[in-house]
Structure 1
Amino acid sequence: MNTSLEGHGHISASSLNTENNRSVFELTEEQIMVRDMCRDFGEKELKEQAARIDKTHQFPMETTKKLGDLGMMGVVYPEEYGGAGMDYVSYAIAIAELSKYCASTGTIVAAHNSLCISPIYYFGTEEQKKKYLPKLCSGQHIGAFAITEPEAGSDAGGTKTTAVFKNGKWILNGTKNFITNGGVCDVHVVLAVTDKDAPKGKNTSFFIVEKGTPGFSVGKLEEKLGICASSTTEMIYDNCEIPAENILGKPGDGFKIAMHTLDGGRVGVAAQALGIAQAALDAAANYAHQRYQFGKPIAKQQAIQFMIADMATEIEAAWLLVYKTAEILNTGDRRRASKYSAMAKLYASECAHRCTHRCMQIHGGYGYIKDYVAERLYRDARITEIYEGTSEIQRLVIAGSVLADYES
């Protein structure tokens, strides 16, 4: 039996009904529609190709176009800009379902939605929104977010890329690395130092950069452990000329925009991790029924049952954190969103790590073989504890927020 997030369509909690007689633990009709649509897409489009593109490292461009037709390349953004106009719960469900079938696809869609479209929508001018969002939300264009540098990973304040205003243009110089969608993006946003004398937090700005901009080029395409069909590259700026109107917000807004963007991005990573974790549970439970040892299915062995129980419980608990975070994002309460997005990302990513470990353990030697999905899930899960803020950074964010509440 493939449970596959089934419990998240209806969880019995009759004592917690809202005024419209819907339990707080039930999804809306729209959210169920999104789940079923993405599940159907996963079965028909992603399931068969996931192992193949993982092996060939082929970016699934046609897949992103089809997802654009379904509204999944601009889930939470208004219809006036070409988006689907849905909420963050729907977004989390979509990313989880896609990632359950193909984590590379989940990564591509999440980075596009959360990291490129988000800062343009929330901080862009009306002219910028009208120019860039329709093609991004429709999937005609792919987006990326360039913040990480060789010497500025967890410490985004260590950014070395510079932008100098000269002759009516911004001139960018520097190198970014580990940029998701970097090799295929039509549009990306990039962080650069605009005032070297200003204090950290006030010295950087974001810019919108289009493919083909003079002075911009794509560097090394990284060979990765997991999510191999996603494009992860260097981005090189060599006297890259950016029109003055392509700055996002005001000069010095870079840190503020980055933190706001990552709050939404982290719930996407949490959802991706949960999709991987659910796939691991599905694979482990199905294999446990099929694999016979000592004259009976290993599903009858208590040791296996304990691992299955732990996986199911952790996934359920992680979903509650993700749902709460998504609802907070829906309200626009960004102060609370920062703490809860860190909690959701931390717990869901470490849940995925544990679940894929148990999945491989239940498969035994077969789990170590590429013919079985357990091996790919184990590799794909690892990055969720690293990108968009390591687990250690999430703990710092959470602790800072909690301890601040106890200050006199």
Structure 2
Amino acid sequence: MMDEIFIQNEEQRAILDSVRRFVEEEVTPRAAELDAQLDPEDSFSWEIVEAADAFGLRTMSLSEEYGGMDTDMLTTAMVIEELARGDLGISVVFAQTLKIGKHMERVLNAEQRARTLIPFRDDPRAILSICGTEPENGSNGIVGYPAPYTTRAVKTEGGWIANGMKHFISNSNRSRFFLVHMQTDPDKSMLDGATVFLLERGHPGFTVGRVHDKMGERLANNSELLFTDCFIPDENVVGEANEGHIIRRTFGPSSNIFAACSILGVAVALFEKSLDWAQTRIQGGKRLIEHDGIRAQIAEMKMLIDASRSYTHRAAHLADHPEEGWDPSLGSLPKVMASQAAWQIATWTLEIHGGHGYMKEAGVEKLVRDAGAFLHSDGVNRALLLRAANFIDA
């Protein structure tokens, strides 16, 4: 359970108790077996998604009209971390869905919300994707390099004809609804010539390609999305044509803050394994934790987790209350800090466990694979540092 110093009210405590129970009952018993599946598609579990819906997790960030609790960003961030203590992939499935759902509620018009969020509310298997990354465009969009998307939509009567491919897109072979960034002004870059389109699974000309076989975070699927002479009607344009950068800007803070929380959950799981092993393993005639080097290392793990969580929670609060001092670098740096801390804790956990940690049955190996995910996911750390530096040196 999250340390009491980070829980601000009884509502948060009750929500986290419910999430912890969900993880213990639905995620932990399945996670290792799902992670071990050779086919990445077999690592995904609709049973967990449906159980999350029954617990009220799938829609909790939305307003009551759409089946949610209208949780603020800080409370949602806490939930995402708690999910990741059970499994990183499950945390990512719902981090994506919770933040994209909230984003849709803000940026879709009334007609789009009616045909998207009401069916989303009523479908216990509905999850969501946002689609920007392409084979030739990853960090370009993070650092603001003026390159165009290679996925393009050309204006035609009543709509647009789209062609191209996205890849590495979270949930995309499973999602029901998608927000897709495409180049619509060929003379400009993704920074000022792209448009966001709303699509539903099964739309003609819009198909799923290869499902990526990832090292870790395996309970969440990522895949390619293919657009082949895909006609998209004008009513599926989100906001205004060629103003996708405005839509993207409103999404950025929650994306990286929630990514920080996902990887923090992995760090906590690693810390708990290290602490348990150090308190029970006898070497040199005493428990590992009675050796000063190990004892100090355990304390340093907690320091890194608490400091990263404090930074992330402050960012989450300010994202909802920017008038209190929001700094744009908070949309980048907490994820960098949390993922670096998690990777350091992962290597220490391996060392503390000795040879036992290298054996799969100990469960450390899976967590180490998961810990590497967010050194790049939701933005390569070096690119996020450069983006933050651009704000600092503006």
- Please state which band the TM-score falls in when normalised by the shorter chain: over 0.9
2:34 to 53, 61, 79: 53
Superposition pairs for residues 20-99 of structure 1, below 5 Å? 26-56=7-37, 57=40, 58-99=43-84
Counterparts of 2:268 and 2:322 in 1: how far apart (Å)? 29
Instruction: Quote the residue 1:316 is aligned against.
Output: 306
Instruction: Quote the residue 1:122 is aligned against.
Output: 106
Instruction: Quote the residue 2:260 is aligned against.
Output: 270
Q: Say which SS state the counterpart of residue 47 (structure 1) adopts.
A: helix
Instruction: Quote the residue 1:20 is aligned against.
Output: none
Please report how far the alpha carbon of residue 324 of structure 1 lies from its aligned counterpart in structure 2 after TM superposition: 0.5
- Please report the TM-score for the alignment, with normalisation by the length of structure 1: 0.90
Q: Say which SS state the counterpart of residue 360 (structure 2) adopts.
A: coil
Q: Say which SS state the counterpart of residue 208 (structure 1) adopts.
A: strand
Please report how far the alpha carbon of residue 83 of structure 1 lies from its aligned counterpart in structure 2 after TM superposition: 2.0
1:294 equivalent in alignment to 2:287: no
Unaligned runs of 5+ in 1: 12-24
Instruction: Quote the residue 1:21 is aligned against.
Output: none
Counterparts of 2:135 and 2:93 in 1: how far apart (Å)? 22
Instruction: Quote the residue 2:222 is aligned against.
Output: 232
Letter in 2 for 1:133: L
Q: Say which SS state the counterpart of residue 177 (structure 1) adopts.
A: strand
Give per-residue Cα distances to partners, 1:145-174, cap 9 Å, x unaligned: 111000001113441101112121221100
Instruction: Quote the residue 1:246 is aligned against.
Output: 236
Q: Any conservation in 2 of the 1:142–1:187 contact (CA below 8 Å)?
A: yes
Q: Any conservation in 1 of the 2:208–2:225 contact (CA below 8 Å)?
A: yes
Q: Any conservation in 2 of the 1:107–1:272 contact (CA below 8 Å)?
A: yes
Counterparts of 1:298 and 1:174 in 2: how far apart (Å)? 55
Q: Any conservation in 1 of the 2:171–2:220 contact (CA below 8 Å)?
A: yes
Letter in 2 for 1:70: F
1:339 equivalent in alignment to 2:329: yes
Question: Relative to structure 1, is the Cα distance of residues 183 and 319 closer, same or farther in structure 2, using a 3 angstrom cutoff?
Answer: same
Letter in 2 for 1:61: W
Give per-residue Cα distances to partners, 1:224-257, cap 9 Å, x unaligned: 1101121111100001121211111001121222
Please report how far the alpha carbon of residue 334 of structure 1 lies from its aligned counterpart in structure 2 after TM superposition: 11
Please report how far the alpha carbon of residue 199 of structure 1 lies from its aligned counterpart in structure 2 after TM superposition: 5.1
Superposition pairs for residues 146-165 of structure 1, below 5 Å? 146-156=131-141, 157-165=147-155
Provide the alpha-carbon RMSD of the alignment.
Answer: 1.7
1:143 to 128, 138, 146: 128
Q: Any conservation in 1 of the 2:23–2:83 contact (CA below 8 Å)?
A: yes
Superposition pairs for residues 341-356 of structure 1, below 5 Å? 341-356=331-346
Q: Any conservation in 2 of the 1:266–1:345 contact (CA below 8 Å)?
A: yes
Superposition pairs for residues 210-225 of structure 1, below 5 Å? 210-225=200-215
Letter in 2 for 1:196: P
Letter in 2 for 1:105: I
1:379 equivalent in alignment to 2:369: yes
Please report how far the alpha carbon of residue 108 of structure 1 lies from its aligned counterpart in structure 2 after TM superposition: 0.7
Tell me the percent identity. 28
Counterparts of 1:110 and 1:327 in 2: how far apart (Å)? 17
Counterparts of 2:306 and 2:288 in 1: how far apart (Å)? 24
Alignment size in residue pairs: 384
Give per-residue Cα distances to partners, 1:13-33, cap 9 Å, x unaligned: xxxxxxxxxxxx541111111
Question: Relative to structure 1, is the Cα distance of residues 264 and 334 closer, same or farther in structure 2, using a 3 angstrom cutoff?
Answer: farther
Unaligned runs of 5+ in 2: 142-146
Counterparts of 2:14 and 2:64 in 1: how far apart (Å)? 18
Give per-residue Cα distances to partners, 1:79-136, cap 9 Å, x unaligned: 122222111111011100000011110011111222x324422211011112212343
2:168 to 178, 185, 188: 178
- Please report the TM-score for the alignment, with normalisation by the length of structure 2: 0.93
Of 134-143 and 261-270, more deviation after overlay is shown by: 134-143
Give per-residue Cα distances to partners, 1:339-362, cap 9 Å, x unaligned: 213121111111111111111111
Counterparts of 1:244 and 1:278 in 2: how far apart (Å)? 46
